Amino acid sequence: MVLLDCSFLIMFLLKRYFADIQSCNIDRIFNKPWMRREIRYDLCMLENQLPFFIVEDLFNLSKILHRREEYSLIELARHFLSSTWDSWVPEDILEQVNFSKLEHFVDFLRICQQPSQQMQSKKLASTLATPTVAELHQAGIKFKLGSSINRLDIKFDDDKGTLEIPRTYIEDHTEILYRNLQAFEQCNYDDSRYVCNYITMLSLLVPAAKDVEILVKKGIIENWLHDNNAVSSLFRNLSKENLLNTNNFYFSGVVEDLNKYHRKRGHKWKAALKQKYFYNPWTIISVVAAAVLVTLTIIQAVCSIIQVV
């Protein structure tokens, strides 16, 4: 069975990479776009994984050559996974990461979003709770689209009051990606559940549709579902079975900084003033005009008192 599955997988990857070897008129997979699409997602489910070293050994034994160039299985795997999850798999990932100990496709997807070295997991100083996006917005925190392709590079600048979040794409099959990465991490890792931590962080930030709406307007969330409530429901459901080790939480520093910033009343007062009275040119003009009118009234009253005295 393993031999048969490996043969199918190798042939599928080759046909995806080299369109000219597809027998489209008689091919039972590539002649049916919907089946081809569903197989792509089935191959990324944890229960369907084949040990990568077995597939690679069979691939190398076959000595498959095409156009006098030899292609490695890892290159075919990157091409397949990037076409299936294009926003998750960087094009130059093979140049950045060593995949010599790769277990399977799900492991490949996890490695693609491994965190940068400058941020390390640490223990939460308090309970796991943070204000929502809407509450942070009311406290004057600005949301900025992050330039990093790594989803985990969420950063908070306390001096500027800016929360930088890389873009995340949400579409019909996003849950398949997160569910399988989540299951893989919970079965195999204890201290480095980065994807699980990311799911927890987003579930804290966007528990309601109004939170998602703010991030959508900022271009941080690209929503291909039917509404914003579907996005918040997605992360709420994912977080229900999400095991979390508070002694090794990747976003502990961000959570603590956000809570400290949100607790300061001055930030809320300043934000309320700006959002209520200075959110567009017309309100600014009206506030200035009112201030001038009050000033002139005071001056007139003072002058009248001086004349009487």
Supply the pLDDT for residue 270: 55
Q: Are residues 170 and 209 in the same domain?
A: yes
Domain for residue 122, yes or no?
no
pTM: 0.81
Q: Are residues 202 and 256 in the same domain?
A: yes
Q: Are residues 223 and 152 in the same domain?
A: yes
Question: Whole-angstrom Cα distance, residue 148 to residue 113?
Answer: 11
Question: Whole-angstrom Cα distance, residue 200 to residue 194?
Answer: 10
Domain for residue 148, yes or no?
yes
Q: Are residues 211 and 261 in the same domain?
A: yes
Q: Are residues 34 and 104 in the same domain?
A: yes
Question: Whole-angstrom Cα distance, residue 259 to residue 129?
Answer: 8
Q: Are residues 46 and 104 in the same domain?
A: yes
Question: Whole-angstrom Cα distance, residue 145 to residue 220?
Answer: 5
Domain for residue 118, yes or no?
no
Domain for residue 146, yes or no?
yes
Q: Which residue segment(s) compose the domain that 65 sits in?
A: 2-112
pLDDT means per 10 residues, the chain with 309 residues, are 91 81 68 80 93 91 60 88 88 83 94 74 71 87 89 89 92 92 90 89 93 93 91 92 82 87 62 52 62 76 74
Domain for residue 14, yes or no?
yes
Q: Are residues 137 and 261 in the same domain?
A: yes
Domain for residue 9, yes or no?
yes
Supply the pLDDT for residue 22: 64
Answer whether 70's CB lies under 8 Å from 138's CB. no
Nearest to 1 by CA among 70, 61, 41, 48: 48
Q: Are residues 163 and 218 in the same domain?
A: yes
Q: Are residues 147 and 231 in the same domain?
A: yes
Question: Whole-angstrom Cα distance, residue 232 to residue 212?
Answer: 7
Q: How many separate domains does the chain show?
A: 3
Supply the pLDDT for residue 213: 93
Supply the pLDDT for residue 253: 86
Domain for residue 74, yes or no?
yes
Q: Are residues 147 and 71 in the same domain?
A: no
Domain for residue 178, yes or no?
yes
Question: Whole-angstrom Cα distance, residue 57 to residue 59?
Answer: 5
Question: Whole-angstrom Cα distance, residue 27 to residue 193?
Answer: 40
Q: Are residues 148 and 261 in the same domain?
A: yes
Supply the pLDDT for residue 68: 44
Supply the pLDDT for residue 309: 62
| Residue that is last in its domain, among 57, 79, 112 | 112
Q: Are residues 140 and 244 in the same domain?
A: yes
